[in-house]
Structure 1
Amino acid sequence: MKYFQNIILIILSICLVSCETSVDASDLLEKQQLVVINGYLSPQDTTLKVQVSRSKSRASSTNVKDMVIKDATVVITDEEKNEVALTYMDVSLNYEAPASGLTITPGKKYFLKVTALGKEYKASCTIPTESVQRIEKNIKIKEDEFSGNRLLKVTIGDIKDQNNFYIIGAVVTQSFDNGGGTINDGVENVNFEFRQFATDVSRENSVITAEGFFNLSANALPNPKLKIKVANAEKILYGALRATYLNDFNDGDPFAESVIAPTNIEGENGFGVFAGYQLAEVEETF
């Protein structure tokens, strides 16, 4: 299954935006098309977003916009029965509402209710209690330049005494002088490959690191900017994005088996993830 990825990456901006909804488990599609619902909540959000779509196989050439269900009813509720209704936005292909309409609080549980194609779907999530408090970086020149000329090593302070599921992303912004007083910015995602997914399960309170590569242009102006984002996510969100990455990476490999993404959407032919995360970020020049 594929939803939006823009690191944030969520990523969730890490995070989380390719707005494509596909299901890799072909056996799930044999009898009936699925209603795919994805929504990720964070206290750091400025906009609440949920996507509601029909599923499509990877082999399908159907336009992504044609798969989106635009007339659904989408409501998010908290434990105190406060609720906010999300409105469909054609620009983003999401149902959206300002985050000011419903406070997203660490440790609290939230409930999603969607009515689509005459059927009702439900899910719930719990926001992780903590975000990462320490993010350190080290940048060095790579010995080879076949996959970028700089290597970024990110070290994060593990949240102690609990199992955590981290998603790591970073972007580099370089400015270029085009003459005549015109300055343009170039933005590049740091490529962490599979290392963007890290967990302390079976090694609690350990050192968490991830290495990624990027290109630094000799023609850029001095002092490029680096923004690192680390999401502490619910296990199901970590598993869903990890499955998407693996399926994309192995796409076209006849010997690779598709990874079935987890789902917590309740309802007939429902599929997808409604989950919480906390986002930490640092930004600096180098």
Structure 2
Amino acid sequence: MKRIYVVSLLIALFTTGCQSMRQEVEPAGLSQVAKKLVIIGFISPQDTVLAVKVNITRPIADANYTTNYGTVANAKVVLETGNRSVQLTYNSKNDYYQVDAKKFPVRAGETYQLTAQTPDGLKASGSCTIPQPAVLQKVRLDSVGDATNQKQYFVRYYWQDVSAMTNYYQTVGIFTYAKSCPTCKSEAGAKPKPETTPVVFESLGQAGTLLSDQANNGRVLESCRGFLNQSSTALPVSDKITFPNLYDRAFVRATLLNVDEAYYKYHQALELQKKSDGNPFAEPVLLPNTITGGLGCFAGFNQSTVTATFK
């Protein structure tokens, strides 16, 4: 009888505990949380179109989520700096607000204020200051052999960091190539078609596009390894297999972004989310919020681009 009593008591305690937990995660007031605008926008002097996404949050337990959540198509979205301002128009095809950059040039060193307001009174805003461009000085081609005796080609970017201030960077690139074709010379008009693929920047197997000058302020900085078309360049290590043997033509359009702190932290959080995707034991990653009266990120960057030809 004592055993039965103990088991009954444990069941009662467990049931009570579950009831308390259910009440903690499902309070009646959750559905009453006010909706907010969500703004995502990144602008630079090199943009041809200034574009901003404006969405709206969906309160938990909202039965009308199909109408209370999604892209906002009727907001008034204004971008301003100093005595200049412009209203962005909604593009229904791409679901964002836009304006031709020629009508509102973005300039380094200027601070921009973005405001979005809906007819029913929701309002949110954010601001950013455009950094000066960082000059990309050199793009170097190199290769590495991995544990499976495969050779992979990669590039590194090099640039001079601006001293006396904290800087944040992002590296991107496009690899354009035409595969080697020994028989093409004997075939009139036969040339391999060029192909393009993103440069994949990695550090220890993880995405590594974002960098800061912490502990290297004022020095020449270098990017993580940017791998080129891994499916084509992962070949058996051999002195006979060289980069010129692989490609008839090859070049990298290398771009270095000097980004503000908000851009850096937001995209850093996105990369951390991707790393923990599918891992049930990973710590949740919260996206930074730079929007007043809402959620999201409005940030600025500047960029320099060079084309490095390897053949």
TM-score, structure 2 normalization: 0.71
Structure 2 counterpart of 1:215, one-letter code = N
* Residue in 2 that maps onto 1:198: 211
Q: Structure 1 or 2: larger helix share?
A: 2
- 2:219 is aligned with what amino acid? S
Deviation at 1:253, TM superposition (A): 0.9
What's the counterpart of residue 4 of structure 2? none
- Partner residue of 2:7? none
Q: Find the residue that maps to 1:225 and give its secondary structure.
A: strand
Q: Is the 8 A contact 1:174 1:220 kept in 2?
A: no
In structure 1, what residue type is equivalent to 2:194? D
Amino acid at match of 2:37: V
Task: Report Cα offsets for 1:126-159 as digits up to 9, x if no partner.
Answer: 111x211233122122202879821222222212
Q: How many angstroms apart in 2 are the aligned matches of 1:139 and 1:150?
A: 7
- Computing the radius of gyration over CA atoms, which structure comes out larger, 1 or 2? 2
Cα distance in structure 2, aligned partners of 1:56 and 1:253 = 26
Note the alpha carbon deviations across 1:76-122, whole angstroms, 9 max, x for none: 01112x11111111333221100111121211111111013631111
3-state DSSP class of the match of 2:267?
Answer: helix
Q: Which residue of 2 aligns with 1:215?
A: 229
The aligned counterpart of 2:259 is 233
Distance 1:260 1:126 in 2: 23
CA RMSD for the aligned pairs?
A: 3.0
Q: CA deviation at 1:240?
A: 0.3
Q: What residue is the counterpart of 2:290 in the other structure?
A: 264
**Matched residues, number:** 248
Per-residue CA shift, 1:244-271, capped at 9, x if unaligned? 111012111112112212111111xx11
Q: How does 1:112-261 map to 2 (within 5 A)?
A: 112-116=114-118, 118-128=121-131, 130-144=132-146, 149-175=152-178, 184-193=193-202, 194-210=207-223, 211-215=225-229, 217=232, 221-261=247-287
- 1:8 maps to none
Gaps of 5+ in 1: 1-28
Change in 2 beyond 3 A, CA 1:174/1:55 = farther
Maintained 8 Å contact 1:165/1:198: yes
| Identical-pair percentage | 27
Cα distance in 1 for partners of 2:75, 2:58 equals: 18
Which residue does 1:9 correspond to in 2? Answer: none
Alpha carbons of structure 1 residues 137 and 114: separation in structure 2 relative to 1, 3 Å: same
Contact 1:38 1:50 in 2 (8 A): yes
State the SS of the aligned residue for 1:107: coil
| Cα distance in structure 2, aligned partners of 1:41 and 1:109 | 11
**Does structure 2 retain, via aligned residues, the 8 Å contact 1:37–1:273?**
yes
Distance 1:56 1:157, change over 3 A: farther
